[in-house]
Amino acid sequence: MPATADAKRYAAKVARRLRREYPDAACSLDHRSPLELLVATILSAQCTDQRVNLVTAKLFRKYRTVADYVRTPPAELERDIQSTGFFRNKAKNIRGCCNTLLERYDGEVPQEIDTLVKMPGVGRKTANVVLGAAFGIASGIVVDTHVGRISRRLGLSAEKNPEKIEADLMERFPRKQWIVLSHQMIRHGRRYCIARKPQCDDCPLRDICPRIGVEN
């Protein structure tokens, strides 16, 4: 359902507050190339960005091309990423992605979301991260646990499914804000809008937030 004019005005107010509070918000996964960001984002599933950055600091010195991931024995890659959790499945997805890149795209990461989401372990969230942070392409809005939680508490979406939340946000915010918005909301979720004990009294959005689902 298209967002109403009131919903868009409220979203604009939220965007202004977030921009003022987090003017330098950016992707927190360390990377120097689209490939590195793709790998880091796959590793970030059920793992903190801080842990991923610790692992990739060594990983990216060892694996520099898609061919490096493909020709390395699975067990060796699993050991290299073990501390990120779910390492067997992540290693399988990384190798699968890299094999696809090598065979179909000359080792380069595609810049189309419809292509990326067909790769092993890549959903809309991962594709949006890569396209936004590596290429500056606003293909959608990254919806992780922080963005989903904050969207519901702010009344920007009543949905629980990430893709439905993303659709609501895309209706309310202009495309030019899509990339930075997710980074700002993630920062906000880590600093103030914490899952279990949100810091509502100190929150820069406290006077406009309906605090939906927040227990007093």
Which residues belong to the active site? 125, 144
Region class of 54: left (phi > 0), else alpha (psi between -120 and 50), else beta: alpha
Residue with tokens 């065979």: 103
CB 122 within 8 A of CB 82: no
Q: What is the DSSP letter of 175?
A: G
H-helix segments, 25-174: 34-43, 49-62, 66-71, 74-81, 87-104, 113-116, 124-135, 145-153, 162-172
